[in-house]
Amino acid sequence: MTESAPFDLLGADILTTLVFLPSIGGLLLALVPGNAKNAIRAVGLLFSGATLAVSALLLQRFDPRVVGIESFLVDRHWIPRFGIRYLMGIDGLSLSLILLTTVLSVCVLLVACGQKIDRWKGYVAAFLFLETGMLGSLVALDAILFYVFWEVMLIPMYFIIGIWGGKRRIYATMKFVLFTLAGSLLMLVGILFLGGVHAQATHFQSFSLLDWIPAAASGAWHLSIRQENFLFWAFALAFLVKVPLFPLHTWLPDAHVEAPTGGSVILAGVLLKLGTYGLLRFALPLFPGATFRFTPFIAALALIGIVYGAWVAAAQKDMKKLVAYSSVSHLALVVLGIVAGNAAAISGAMFQMIGHGLTTGLLFLLVGVLYERRHTREMSDYGGVATHVPVTTTLFVIAALGSVGLPGLNGFVGEFLILGGVFQRSVVWCAIASTGLILGAIYLLTLVQKVFWGPDRNSANRGLTDINGWELAGALPLVAGIVWFGVAPAPLLNLVRTSADFVVQIAHLRMVP
């Protein structure tokens, strides 16, 4: 594309449209008076809906057979003096995560419409800006551009947890921000260092992945082992904090418990996936050698995370904390799949990233529905509420079963693929990881049993009203996804297959000794 080409918003520049459409909505909200609740709702739904439509358009035009991350490439100068470009492109992996993001963003706003939220305008605006940050991180191919979006995500999330969160929200949000920032600043050092290395090796300043990945694959950088190890960790730590991998996970339970429903849904649904996305997009392709060297270490942490997360989840009395720890466990499985490094495990990991976004998003959403009505998340305060809230119960059971990997729902496909791939790599890993899944079934089904079935002891639950229209509208797309990808996983698998093969190919180039 020539530099001076005019913007073609639904053609060549469709990714720009996708990324910035939500924040235009957020800016427009500044003109709407704070008490015009319906107008604010309209703007929020309109812009997140339009973004969803754009992402659907992307899906329709996308050719999953294309290898590489250059689909819908946008390439413009940004800071030419230092070779920094406004460079965006997608592949099947990023596209599937983009769809997850746009769907969840609409769902979150729909649910919020059905609940009572003060400072409503700020809430909608924060989610719209957050959506821009997430989408930007998913499409950016220039490391600096990626870093900018990565950091931009942090600010709305800070406010979402800090303003609309629970009692310990200030502590939780600061912890979240500091953990994430410490990781990502280290990544900035890595990016700077690598930029210097690349310029020295090729006499060409670039921060573009399209230049970096081939250079890494061909060994043009001539990195020493120490340098490569450092760079790998500079990137990997930023992403592993976000995942979060044991022992970097301590911010997650706090953030999840204190965040408002929408915040938890987005956090679990998308933000954690950006960690694994980063591993697949940056850490692994750029430093396959170091990835190979540290695979046993990371796998060990992942295995600990799987079992530990599940074990701790089983001990929780707070529903949200339980789901939060289940995320620690499930995401560790995804990391294990990534480092296992074969096609089955990696495509399973990619599938599971979407699957987990849907199931855990739905779990948090429904816990939020109960909390909105009863203002408690203690399991012991509930019991036998199925008779009062039959629809919520049905949905919750679907989400829980999807999460524990019941065949016919999406969790099964992802977990099966990952375990199958991990089995090829190491039987021991596979055995340990499987125990995590069994524990998963125990704690989630216990949760369902304690809350929805059993004796209807607590009279405060008598007046519990079922999920309302708005909330249902927000939940149904997720349910549809859980069932659909469980019954017919092929379309999603096809979408990510090329990306998975690409990663495997790079991995095999340098990983196999």
Partner 1 sequence: MPFAPSDMALIVPELFLTAAGLVLLVAATAVSRAQEKQIALWSIASLVVTGFLLAVPASAGAGARSAFGGMFAADGYSLFFKVLILAAGVVTILFSLRFVGDSPYPGGEYYGLLLFATVGMMFMVSGTHLISIYVALELMALSQYVLAGYFKRETKSIEAAAKYFVLGAFSSGVLLYGISLVFGATGSLSLAAVSRSIVLGPKSPLLVLGIILVACGLFFKIASAPFHVWAPDVYEGAPTPISAFFAVGPKLAAYAIFARIFFSGFGHNSSEWTVIIAASSALTMVVGNVGALMQQNVKRMLGYSSIGHAGYALLGLLAYGSKDFGLSSILIYLTAYALMNLGAFGLVVLLETKGYAGESVDDFNGLAKKNPLAAGVMVLFLLSLAGIPPTAGFVGKYLLFSAAMQAGWFWLTLLAVLMSAVSLFYYFRIVRAMYLVEGTGELRWREEPAVTVAILACAALTLFLGVYPQPLIALAKACLLS
Q: What Cα–Cα distance (Å) separates residue 6 from each residue in 2, 11, 12, 70? A: 9, 11, 10, 20
Cis omega (within 30 of 0) for bond into 455: no
Distance CA 317, CA 321 (A): 8
Asked if 304 is part of the footprint of partner 1 (rule: CB under 8 A), the reply reads no
Q: Which stretch binds partner 1 (CB under 8 A): 152-160, 303-311, 341-349, 382-390?
A: 152-160
SS3 76: strand
Distance CA 322, CA 366 (A): 13
Question: Is the Cβ of residue 147 or residue 212 nearer to partner 1 in the bound state?
Answer: 147
For the chain, give the number of residues: 513
Q: Which stretch binds partner 1 (CB under 8 A): 185-193, 251-259, 307-315, 335-343?
A: 185-193
Which two three-digit tokens encode residue 245?
Answer: 């991998």
Given 174, 217, 442, 509, the residue binding partner 1 (CB under 8 A): 174
Asked if 178 is part of the footprint of partner 1 (rule: CB under 8 A), the reply reads yes
Cβ atoms of 466 and 391 within 8 Å: the answer is yes
Give residue 233's identity as a one-letter amino acid code.
W
Question: First-to-last CA distance in the chain?
Answer: 40
Given 49, 64, 158, 426, the residue binding partner 1 (CB under 8 A): 158
Given 24, 27, 45, 148, the residue binding partner 1 (CB under 8 A): 148
Asked if 155 is part of the footprint of partner 1 (rule: CB under 8 A), the reply reads yes
- Least separation in angstroms between CB 170 and partner 1: 5
Question: Is the Cβ of residue 136 or residue 348 nearer to partner 1 in the bound state?
Answer: 136
Distance CA 447, CA 345 (A): 29
Asked if 147 is part of the footprint of partner 1 (rule: CB under 8 A), the reply reads yes
Distance CA 372, CA 365 (A): 10
Query: Around 374, how many Cα atoms within 13 Å sit in the side-chain half-sphere?
Result: 29
Q: How many residues bind partner 1 (CB under 8 A)?
A: 33
- Least separation in angstroms between CB 154 and partner 1: 7
Asked if 242 is part of the footprint of partner 1 (rule: CB under 8 A), the reply reads no
Q: Which stretch binds partner 1 (CB under 8 A): 41-49, 74-82, 328-336, 494-502?
A: 74-82
Query: Which of 400, 178, 136, 113 is closest to 270 using CA atoms?
Result: 136
Asked if 79 is part of the footprint of partner 1 (rule: CB under 8 A), the reply reads yes
Site string (262-301) toward partner 1, x via CB under 8 A: ----------------------------------------
- Least separation in angstroms between CB 38 and partner 1: 20
The secondary structure of residue 199, as a DSSP letter, is H
Query: Which of 145, 134, 137 is closest to 87 using CA atoms?
Result: 145
Which two three-digit tokens encode residue 349?
Answer: 């990991």
- Least separation in angstroms between CB 338 and partner 1: 26
Asked if 490 is part of the footprint of partner 1 (rule: CB under 8 A), the reply reads no
Q: Which stretch binds partner 1 (CB under 8 A): 2-10, 105-113, 186-194, 381-389?
A: 186-194
Site string (93-132) toward partner 1, x via CB under 8 A: ----------------------------------------
Query: Around 263, how many Cα atoms within 13 Å sit in the side-chain half-sphere?
Result: 32
Question: Is the Cβ of residue 160 or residue 409 nearer to partner 1 in the bound state?
Answer: 160
The secondary structure of residue 90, as a DSSP letter, is E
Distance CA 149, CA 123 (A): 20
Given 41, 85, 169, 249, the residue binding partner 1 (CB under 8 A): 169
How many CB atoms lie under 10 A from the CB of residue 174? 15
- Summarize as ranges the residues that interact with partner 1 (CB under 8 A): 77-82, 144, 147-148, 151-152, 154-155, 158-159, 162-163, 169-170, 173-174, 177-178, 181-182, 185-186, 188-189, 192-193, 195-196
